[in-house]
A = this chain, B = another copy of it.
């Protein structure tokens, strides 16, 4: 019985992300979500207190995934260039493969009215920790965690979200920005 509940909750979450990608904010009404998740609108309220609560729960869950995913790709024996390459490529592939989740996260976090009530992002800690270690061992230069994050991940977003590019163009651009970031960060 517990299993079934989780499935329903999951269906709802996926419906939200999918609708947010396809239709934006105006597409994510409770009734549309319920229709897509194949539940009743009332059922949404057995899993979440309100629409806002629902969005925040989804954000909290989804916004952590990418960091776990990236950390899983990094191996201890990698050198600095490899770590940068791995982090950026895994960030890229996670975004590409989970387009709707990422679209949701971006739209949510760009909305100050929502995101300011919901400061989470514990997940970045793992990555931050890894980079800190690399700084100490003089593998990468000594910049603040925020700057590193900005330089490693935000240029990748620029590439992923550009709808005018096809995937092979994106792949080529990814190679370029990885090279650029490696030169910027490594000694």
Contacts and interface: CB of A to CB of B under 8 A. Distances in A.
Given A107-B107, A164-B119, A158 B184 contact: no
Interface string A14-49: 000000011111110000000000001010000000
Given A106-B110, A119-B164, 20 more contacts: A22-B112, A22-B113, A23-B113, A25-B111, A103-B110, A107-B111, A119-B163, A146-B158, A146-B162, A147-B173, A150-B154, A150-B158, A150-B159, A150-B177, A151-B151, A151-B177, A154-B155, A154-B157, A180-B184, A184-B184
Contacts of A176: 143-144, 147
B112 A21 contact: yes
Contacts of A112: 21-22, 24, 103, 163
Contact of A146 (B27, B42, B153, B165): B165
Give the number of copies in the complex. Answer: 4
A153 B146 CA distance: 15
Contacts of A40: 1
Interface in A128-187: 143-144, 146-147, 149-151, 153-159, 161-165, 172-173, 176-177, 180-181, 183-185
Interface residues of A, number: 49
Interface of A: 1, 21-27, 40, 42, 103, 106-107, 110-116, 119, 143-144, 146-147, 149-151, 153-159, 161-165, 172-173, 176-177, 180-181, 183-185
